[in-house]
Structure 1
Amino acid sequence: MAATIAATTLQTEEKLSKLRSAVAGLNQISENEKSGFINLVSRYLSGEAEQIEWSKIQTPTDEVVVPYDTLAPPPEDLEATKKLLNKLVVLKLNGGLGTTMGCTGPKSVIEVRNGFTFLDLIVIQIESLNKKYGCNVPLLLMNSFNTHDDTLKIVEKYSDSDIEIHTFNQSQYPRIVAEDFQPLPCKGEVGKDGWYPPGHGDVFPSLMNSGKLDALISQGKEYVFVANSDNLGAIVDMKILNHLIHNQNEYCMEVTPKTLADVKGGTLISYEGRVQLLEIAQVPDAHVNEFKSIEKFKIFNTNNLWVNLKAIKRLVEADALKMEIIPNPKEVNGVKVLQLETAAGAAIRFFDHAIGINVPRSRFLPVKATSDLLLVQSDLYTLVDGFVIRNQARSNPANPTIELGPEYKKVGDFLRRFKSIPSIVDLDSLKVSGDVWFGAGIVLKGKVTITNKSGKKLEIPDGIVLENKDVNGPEDI
């Protein structure tokens, strides 16, 4: 047994030694990126992943995951509010491309509503805050090498805006060839395909390495609100900010009640006296169904995170943020590769007085697919000062479930098939299969299924009302 362990250790050391010398010759990345990458790979090869002991998992109490409605109201005084907001920075994760929705460039420039993109709405929201309270909340965009150049051009259109916009890049790591653990760029892959951004857990060292962290601390900023750029519900919340400053919580994760659509989302648990994120990948096979149950694990991570800047600095300097590694196998031009990633939510266990806050579902409104775009472009929402506000006329707190076939996957194809977005205030569910085109002024209510198997175009006429209806052809309309 001891001999086997020694042999494995020797093999690991040899792999690492070869990798170090190969990485040393990569002049496209900084020394910080090289050491961060080697550190990540050596942790992965050492197999340091801690196994979760299922019996030790405890449901967090209300002190650990605080119910949103128990938070104290923020100060009503304008000056006190300004003082609070001047301690805040908003950071949007802007490294993703819109490729899954058929778009080129950063996902944040997809038009969401009334001609405004995600980025437009974010800028308008922060402008309104700064104007209303006379404060200075800056916006930071963490780009990847995939989105950096495009974002710099896009940000120019906000040059007249009165908000400070800063951009910085997250790390760029070489993909690893699975066969011999050598960097793909060393195998002649000279383009972008040789590299990858290592997940949003990289936000903490990248903030530090970019110099932005020290600059913000020197300006008196205390907290950063981190969120995905495609989550329209992730807006600045004074109650949360006030609570964190008052209670000196170094880290807060917004969680929200799970529905059956969110069963794979990470959840918060109490484990050996600390609050911890539990992801489905860490769950032993025998307990996966239990993890997916919305009775036992009632909440999931929205990836809206509030983190103390000085605490980030302390932990990054001490190299203490050893988040769980997520191995992500890929194939590039027929070569099997591995990219190692981390998630920002997994950092929660390293911060002092870390908490979750169980927020309303309205703070989680991501646009991951055109079915989500249909929701936010419909009469279910209105737009006020850049904020997407839910229509009070809908009595059901849950949104309708929408399934659109592959014909709608790309944004361009989706938009072509709707003369105008139907009214869905009273809709429970919509399922569309096949080549279906919608006219203007259509109203959908209850459960609606539209199936077109014919291979011909099925047109839903202008102004029609479909309520609890199965449509299989023109004769059913």
Structure 2
Amino acid sequence: MAAATLSTADSEKLSKLQSSVAGLSQISDNEKSGFVNLVSRYLSGEAQHVDWSKIQTPTDKVVVPYDSLAPTPEDPAETKKLLDKLVVLKLNGGLGTTMGCTGPKSVIEVRNGLTFLDLIVIQIESLNSKYGCSVPLLLMNSFNTHDDTQKIVEKYAKSNIEIHTFNQSQYPRLVADEFVPLPCKGNTSKDGWYPPGHGDVFPSLKNSGKLDALLSKGKEYVFVANSDNLGAVVDLKILNHLIRNKNEYCMEVTPKTLADVKGGTLISYEGKVQEVDKVKVLQLETAAGAAIKFYDHAIGSNVPRSRFLPVKATSDLLLVQSDLYTLNDGFVIRNKARANPANPSIELGPEFKKVADFLGRFKSIPSIIDLDSLKVTGNVWFGANITLKGKVVIAAKPGEKLEIPNGAVIENKEINGPEDI
């Protein structure tokens, strides 16, 4: 366990917790020690020890502009050498519950009947075929997604890529008032446990044995991204720059928009208080970005916004299913006909929250090439071949159904009833 300075009371609290955790038969010794270590860091107040006077805006040497990265080799044989060192790792622990789906979020259909996972596989297949390389795909599952994913990957058995799966850690939630694991209080359901954030990718990769196996095959670099980020694809320019400059770690950053309300801060961990069966519990997580401080030659790269295209809600699904994007070899590519470099701001009401409801309310996804913003509230239904332009607000009156007819063109208007169309 890492050294930590604790008060006598906190030391006793940690010692009691260690005894409780030792009796949890559902998790491994590595998971037990990792969890106790994380709690120790939390109790020591590690994250609070920040000297704010030392915080400065990073220079271009630290956060390298994308345009100044070393160019990609023109020789395909040189590109193959780069790719032979690479592994693609997708974080696959999330469920699609927030969008009304069961099972791993990565199996939600995104476009043309293809799921997130389908697109990822097609992308890597394309790379392997084009350059004659063998880039493997690793999926880091959680205890929530493991069983389903094992069945799902069987459909790719004839693919030209190796697919490996491993589980991230399983940690017990803590009863906040008593500081004991929830499973020790008799909660035997999955609610008593949680996957401890994407920072867990590092110990889990090692503890699973996958790290040693990959190193033995000559793999040196791993590209890590969420499975629901459609913009997170292998970038040869970044890989080439890292290898040429001997950078051990690169974090991609991109300018924020008004839609970005989460992420962006490098911290070691965060404590989250929430409710499980009306019991206040504490859930400690780590962020993968926090690892940047452990490398001597780590860099950031200010990449184009196109590399950040997460699908967290049906409003994001509307964007990627629209004519704003096209699909090529598994890559979701932005339509050049869009003049505005920013994506439209889209806000859909709760009637559209679940994927099934969202799909049911659109006969076809509207054209939004020239859309600036869209806000939809109430019982609204869309016909086929609709075009939305500028700033559009569609709000059905309480208790009324509002249908937008086939072929409607709505530009810079607020629609409250049929008479406004």
Short-chain TM bin: over 0.9
Deviation by residue 1:327-379 (Cα, 9 ceiling, x = unmatched): 01121111111111110011111112110001110000000000000000000
Displacement after TM superposition at 1:264 (Å): 4.8
Match 1:243 to one of 241, 244, 249: 241
CA-based RMSD: 1.2
Paired residue secondary structure (2:259): helix
Q: Does 1:448 align with 2:392?
A: yes
SS in 1 for 2:254: strand
Q: Could you say which residue in structure 2 is the equivalent of 1:398?
A: 342
Distance 1:408 1:176, change over 3 A: same
Amino acid aligned to 2:326:
T
Shift of 1:260: 2.6
Identify the residue that residue 189 of structure 1 maps to in structure 2: 187
Instruction: Describe the SS at the equivalent of 2:50.
Output: coil
User: How does 1:64-463 map onto structure 2 within 5 Å?
Assistant: 64-262=62-260, 264-267=262-265, 277=266, 324-463=268-407
1:394 positional shift: 0.6
Q: Which runs of 5 or more structure 1 residues have no equivalent in the other structure? A: 1-5, 268-276, 280-323
Q: Distance in 1 between matches of 2:342 and 2:50?
A: 33
Query: Secondary structure, in 3 states, of the residue corresponding to 1:402?
Result: strand
SS across alignment from 2:390: strand
The structural deviation recorded for 1:454 is 3.1
Report the secondary structure of 2:78's partner residue. helix
Partner deviation per Cα, 1:151-202 (whole Å, 9 max, x = no partner): 1011111111110000000000111111111111111111111111111110
Letter in 2 for 1:438: F
AA matched with 1:427: L
One-letter code aligned to 2:205: L
Counterpart amino acid of 2:310? P
SS, match of residue 167 in structure 1: strand
Aligned counterpart in structure 2 of residue 53 of structure 1, from 31, 51, 60: 51
Structure 1 distance, partners of 2:219, 2:370, is: 44
For 1:471 and 1:75, how far apart are their aligned partners in 2? 53
Kindly provide the CA deviation profile for residues 31-70 of structure 1, in whole angstroms up to 9, marking residues without a partner as x: 1001111111111112222433333211111111111011
Question: How many residue pairs get matched?
Answer: 417
| Structure 1 runs, 4 residues or longer, greater than 4 Å off | none
Secondary structure (helix, strand or coil) at the match of 2:393 reads strand
CA–CA distance in structure 2, aligned partners of residues 138 and 118 of structure 1: 17
Distance 1:174 1:265, change over 3 A: closer
Q: Which amino acid aligns with 2:318?
A: L
Q: How does 1:10-29 map to 2 (within 5 A)?
A: 10-29=8-27
TM-score (norm 1): 0.86
Letter in 2 for 1:176: L
**Structure 1 Cα separation of the partners of residues 270 and 395 of structure 2:** 39
Residues 108-163 of structure 1: per-residue CA shift (max 9 Å, x gap): 00000000000000000000000000000000000000000011011111111110
| 1:286-306 CA distance string (max 9 Å, x none) | xxxxxxxxxxxxxxxxxxxxx
Unpaired stretches in structure 2, ≥5 consecutive residues: none
Report the residue type matching 2:243 in the other structure. Answer: I
Q: Which amino acid aligns with 2:387?
A: V
